[in-house]
């Protein structure tokens, strides 16, 4: 799941150097190499804090698509997975993959963060449900062509790289003909509004078409966190360019019984604005 776009505590830089606390944050262009590699260090440093804050809501072996609380057991966006080879991209601690294992799927989970995968191994031991996990950049998946029937991500990888088109191309490559790729991201509309779950977050304060990423830097000017905005049209074009067919876009409504506040998500804004978009695509064949 995506991290909230707000100043964070100290993190470990991807280079291994130890930056200080976030010194500056805002929307601005940064070199793609810097922005693209920042996610690994951020998630390594913040894996435990993230799971401490959101672990109960996500569950150890449950499949949650978004802060709205849409669960795969109810939505069935992936269809019947029994006996099918499934790839989770940007799996975090692999909670979704663990649930799919209980449904009879043959799952492999991938994530760029060793810290998140270590947390996933601990959940494997705690739940008794083991998921094979591979540390990998979603833009360079270490699998042969036409390996999987289903691929998905719940807020993984796509928001944290400057070249999400590469993720779609790689997923299309490893899918078998007729395979599906389903991914959830922050709803593009949300980027025009402050990352605030209260009434203040209901007034747009920046252009929806401003594609500069949200970036945090340390006192030395090093990028320690980057999250990228794409418009609805950008997402569609990138999917189609990868040779995939767009089948549906799901915009979950905020349920009345969900009182969870998650960064800029919450019941106040959720009553008026969509927070999540889930794209369902298919590789022809």
**Residue 16 within any structural domain of the chain:** no
Query: Which pLDDT band, with edges at 50, 70 and 90, does 124 fall under?
Result: very high
**Residue 226 within any structural domain of the chain:** yes
**Residue 102 within any structural domain of the chain:** yes
pTM check: above 0.85? yes
Residues 156-177 have pLDDT tens digits of 999 999 999 999 999 999 999 9
**Residue 11 within any structural domain of the chain:** no
Residues 169-213 have pLDDT tens digits of 999 999 999 999 999 999 999 999 999 999 999 999 999 999 999
**Residue 12 within any structural domain of the chain:** no
Res 23: pLDDT: 81
Is the pLDDT assigned to residue 10 strictly greater than 90?
Answer: no
Contact at 8 Å (CB) between 126 and 61? no
Mean pLDDT of the chain: 92
Res 22: pLDDT: 77
Burial tier of 192 (Cβ tally within 10 Å: 0-12, 13-18, 19+): middle
Q: What's the domain range around 217? A: 24-283
Is the pLDDT assigned to residue 8 strictly greater than 80?
Answer: no
Query: Which pLDDT band, with edges at 50, 70 and 90, does 11 fall under?
Result: very low
Res 21: pLDDT: 66
List the CATH number of the domain containing 256.
3.40.50.150
**Residue 199 within any structural domain of the chain:** yes
Residues 82-91 have pLDDT tens digits of 999 999 999 9
Residues 218-249 have pLDDT tens digits of 999 999 999 999 999 999 999 999 999 999 99
Res 26: pLDDT: 94
Number of domains present in the structure of the chain: 1
**Residue 4 within any structural domain of the chain:** no
Among residues 4, 13, 118, 5, the alpha carbon closest in space to that of 53 is found at 4
**Residue 183 within any structural domain of the chain:** yes
DSSP for 4-56 reads: PSS-------TTS----S--EEEE----HHHHHHHHHHHHHHHHHHHHHHHHH
């Amino acid at each position: 799941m995506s991290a909230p776009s707000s100043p964070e505590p100290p993190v470990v830089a991807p280079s291994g150097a130890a930056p200080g606390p976030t010194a500056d944050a805002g929307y601005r262009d940064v070199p793609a190499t810097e922005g693209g590699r920042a996610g690994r260090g951020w998630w390594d440093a913040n894996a435990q804090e993230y799971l401490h804050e959101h672990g109960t809501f996500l569950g150890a072996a449950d499949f949650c698509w978004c802060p709205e609380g849409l669960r795969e057991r109810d939505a069935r966006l992936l269809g019947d997975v029994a006996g099918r080879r499934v790839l989770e991209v940007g799996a975090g601690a692999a909670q979704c993959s663990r649930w799919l294992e209980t449904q009879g799927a043959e799952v492999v989970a991938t994530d760029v963060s060793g810290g998140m995968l270590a947390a996933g191994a601990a959940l494997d031991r705690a739940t008794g449900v083991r998921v094979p996990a591979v540390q990998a950049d979603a833009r360079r998946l270490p699998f042969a062509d036409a390996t999987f029937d289903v691929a998905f991500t719940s807020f993984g990888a796509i928001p944290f790289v400057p070249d999400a088109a590469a993720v779609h191309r790689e997923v299309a490559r490893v899918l078998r003909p007729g395979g599906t790729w389903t991914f959830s991201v922050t709803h593009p509309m949300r980027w025009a509004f402050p990352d605030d779950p209260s009434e203040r977050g209901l007034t747009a304060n920046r252009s929806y078409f401003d594609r500069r990423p949200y970036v945090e830097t340390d006192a030395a000017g090093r990028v320690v966190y980057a999250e990228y905005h794409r418009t609805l049209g950008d997402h569609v074009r990138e999917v189609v360019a990868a040779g995939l067919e767009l089948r549906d876009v799901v915009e979950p409504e905020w349920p009345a019984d969900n009182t969870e506040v998650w960064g800029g998500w919450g019941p106040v804004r959720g009553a008026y604005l969509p927070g999540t978009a889930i794209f369902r695509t298919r590789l022809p064949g």
